[in-house]
Chains A and B, each alone.
Chain A
Amino acid sequence: MTVLETYKKEFKEILPALRGGQNMARARERGMERFVFLGGIPGPKAEDWRYSDLRAIRARHLSRPKRPLAQTVPRFEPLTRWPLVAVLNGKILGSAPALEGVEILGAEQALEKIPVWADEYFSPGMEESPLERLNLALSEGGLFINIAKNAVLEGLEIIFLEGGDKKNAHHLRNFIGLEAGATAQILFRTISLEKNPGWTNMVSNFSLSEGAHLSLVCDFEQKEKSFLTGRNFVKVDKRASFSQVSLALGLTAHRFETEVNLMGKGADARLFAALLAGRGEAVDFVTRIHHSRPQAKSRQTVRAVAGFEGKTAFQGRVVVEENAQKTVAHQNCSNLILDPSGEVNIKPELLIFADDVVCSHGATVGEIDEVALFYMMQRGIPKAEAKAILVRAFLGDVVESLENEVLRSYFEDKIEAWMKQSMDRKQR
């Protein structure tokens, strides 16, 4: 039996045990069918996947469903003073906070209660992906959030906790909708158990109706040797705006896709990403920005740092469809290599089918500025600290896009700690 046949067989066996009603079961079968059709977990030869090293996931059959999950809760601490939702293996831990104009439900509950949202929840996004389809097939649930018309959500912290047995896969699936004119600020965090070489694969679909504003901050953290992949698919309607700031550091084989469909006139998307990879770490940030209607704007700011034996990649595709006139799309990716053994990859793609547009992309690769380093040392700053300051400055365009001071200093501290660790590792 081939690997894919094994998948199919095992999936059939566990399907009855998976959560959700008829709707969900049908969606799961469709998901598995497409996953198999697309060839399963992509290997390094697939063009869009060459920088995502998923071999370990394939080899250890991490994607195979295993039941039941242990309910060990990893230790976690809230970062902000915002209302908090903790999700353990796809289920809300305790009860969700009651907020005016905001509905927070477990995904399965939501699918029964508000079935019209099912299409959004099951949506494959703009470009079908085997990991997303597998997620649908094996999803353990996740969150459903709806923010009512003109409602304002000042801040919401969501922590996705992975508490499970070794070598397990965690497929989480969320839907977050903002009705017309709604405004929200949301922090996404993932936290895994210590010493748990598992795999978390999270898919979140967002829908921003006319004039809605969402500011999303993603903080991905995994313990050593666990894997994290994910996709945010965001639909942005007329005059709505989406901003995303993401920090990825200390991650083994991390792939994070952000797909944005600017489907309304005057829609706006801004993505900021900081990618850091040192020894045994690899980060692949993939963006797909589709300008489907006129007068939309997008801006991508990516800063990648490759330390000793670290590997980063940014694959950014911008598609401007034929009728998306007066599009403004900018993409900028700067890379910093801290050690000759570090590797950065950049793959920008602009596919422009409209003629009246302003599009730009720029990429730079550099090393630590030795002249600045000496200047700082001459003023008394030890080399390692001076380097850390230069790295922080390099990431400034991303970190400073965070308006919230608590989050900003948290990101800065994390970067500093990573720098320390990555230098220690080199010395070892």
Chain B
Amino acid sequence: MKPILSIDNLKVRVGGQEILKGLNLKIMPGEVHAIMGPNGSGKSTLANALAGKPGYEVTGGTVLYKGINLLDLDAHARAGEGLFLGFQYPVEIPGVSNLNFLRTALNAQRLYRGEEEMDASTFLKKIKEKAKLLLMDFEMQKRAVNVGFSGGEKKRNEMLQMLMIEPTLAVLDETDSGLDIDALKIVAEGINTIRLPDRGLLLITHYQRLLNYVEPDFVHILQDGKIVRTGDKELAKELEEKGYAAVA
């Protein structure tokens, strides 16, 4: 079986500084991985580099995604290939409604894959269904993308987009931060619906709580641009109790 993601000795520079210093990670189909690590250790840098954010300069190593060289692709092509990034800080786009944005995105991805467009009524039916699942008010989708959304609403909106897009590999950067206890449970249930045998999930988090609901197969500790320890979900528990200094 081919891995969904295979990162080998990845080095990334941001703002003239080397942040990732030789990172290795392999995600097989059906697996859920969690990355934990202190502030500034490079977790978001990894997510952004995978998504192809401008300014993230890869200075070494390789990233194979479903066997293809991910680093050769434009950001939109990576998305078209099935890579989804749940943003730590979701972006506001004044003047563009959520509905328009998401439908345009969905159809752009379909066009990229040579699939047919999703018609308006199917789209509406689907998004209403997913919003219900996440206990979100559908009316909010008529407003501009993330504008005036609370922190938690923004995170839930990321999850709504993910459920609509149904990515092959979802990288969720601190999706749990900012969610209240009930919302966390709901979002976790949403995430579990895309936990399928042919998909992969990479959860970046600071808290073990999310991992109670979405149980990871592997937990990695990232420190100073490298994965310094890998374990199972017990590692997350250990971290929660003792902190990074003692564990890593």
Closest to B109 in A: A380
Chain A min CB distance to B103 (Å) = 11
Residues of A at the B interface (CB closer than 8 Å) are: 369-372, 374-383, 385-386, 389-390, 392-394, 396
Question: How many whole Å from B225's CB to the nearest CB in chain A?
Answer: 22
Q: A379 and B105: CB pair below 8 A?
A: yes
A394 to chain B, nearest CB (A): 7
- Closest partner residue, chain B, to A384 (CB atom): B76
Q: A372-B93, A375-B93, A393-B93 known; A380 and B80 CB under 8 Å?
A: yes
20 A–B pairs (Cβ distance < 8 Å), ordered by A: A369-B93, A375-B90, A375-B93, A376-B93, A376-B105, A377-B79, A378-B87, A379-B79, A379-B108, A380-B79, A380-B80, A380-B108, A380-B112, A381-B76, A385-B104, A389-B96, A389-B101, A389-B104, A390-B96, A394-B95
A378/B85 in contact, CB under 8 A = yes
Contacts A375-B87, A386-B76, A389-B101 supplied; 4 other A-B pairs, CB < 8 Å: A376-B93, A381-B104, A381-B105, A393-B96
Q: Which residues of B contact A (CB under 8 A)?
A: 51-54, 74-76, 78-80, 84-85, 87, 90-96, 101-102, 104-106, 108-109, 112, 161, 165
Check B76 against A377 for contact (C-beta < 8 Å): yes
A396 touches B76 (CB 8 A): no
By beta carbon, the residue of chain A nearest B86 is A378
Chain A contact residues: helix, strand, loop or mixed: helix
> Which are the 7 A-B pairs with shortest beta-carbon distances?
A393-B95, A379-B105, A380-B109, A380-B79, A377-B75, A375-B91, A396-B95
Residues of A within 8 A of B94 (CB): 393
Indicate if the CB atoms of B54 and A374 lie closer than 8 Å: yes
A378/B75 in contact, CB under 8 A: yes
Chain B residues lying within 8 Å of A370, measured Cβ to Cβ, are 54
Cβ of A377 and Cβ of B101 under 8 Å apart?
no
A382–B108 touching, CB < 8 Å: yes
Q: How far is A378 from B104 in the complex, measured between Cα atoms in Å? A: 12
Q: Which residues of A sit under 8 angstroms from B85, Cβ to Cβ?
A: 378
Partner among A372, A383, A389 whose Cβ is within 8 Å of the Cβ of B76 = A383
Give the chain B neighbours of A369 by CB distance below 8 A.
93
A377 engages B74 (CB within 8 Å): yes
Contact A378 B93 (CB under 8 A): no
Q: Which residues of chain B are near A392, meaning CB under 8 Å?
A: 95
Measured CB to CB, the closest approach of chain A to B78, in angstroms, equals 8
Residues of B with C-beta under 8 A to A396: 95
With a 10 A CB-CB cut-off, give which of A378, A381, A385 has the most chain B CB atoms. Answer: A378
Nearest chain A CB to B104 CB, angstrom units: 6
Q: Is the CB of B95 within 8 A of A374?
A: no
A156–B221 Cα distance when bound, in Å, is 69
Considering the chains assembled together, what is the distance between the CA atoms of A380 and B101 in angstroms? 10
Cβ contacts under 8 Å, B106 to chain A? 380
Residues of B within 8 A of A377 (CB): 52, 74-76, 79
Greatest chain B CB density within 10 A among A372, A374, A375, A394 is at A375
B165–A379 contact, CB under 8 A? Answer: yes
- From A389, which residue of chain B is reached at the shortest CB distance? B96
Query: Bound state CA distance, A382 and B96, in angstroms?
Result: 16
Q: Which of B53, B84, B109 contacts A374 (CB 8 A)?
A: B53
Find chain A residues with CB under 8 A from B165 CB.
379-380
B83: min CB distance to chain A, Å: 8
Q: What CA separation (Å) do A393 and B101 show in the bound complex?
A: 11
Contacts of B74 in A (CB 8 A): 377, 382-383
- In the bound complex, CA of A375 to CA of B161 (Å): 12
Q: How far is the CA of A372 from the CA of B105 in the complex (A)?
A: 13
Chain A nearest CB, measured from B72 CB (Å) = 15
- Using CB atoms, name the residue of chain B closest to A400: B95
CA–CA, A285 and B223, complex, Å: 56
Which of B53, B84, B101 interacts with A376 by CB under 8 Å? Answer: B101
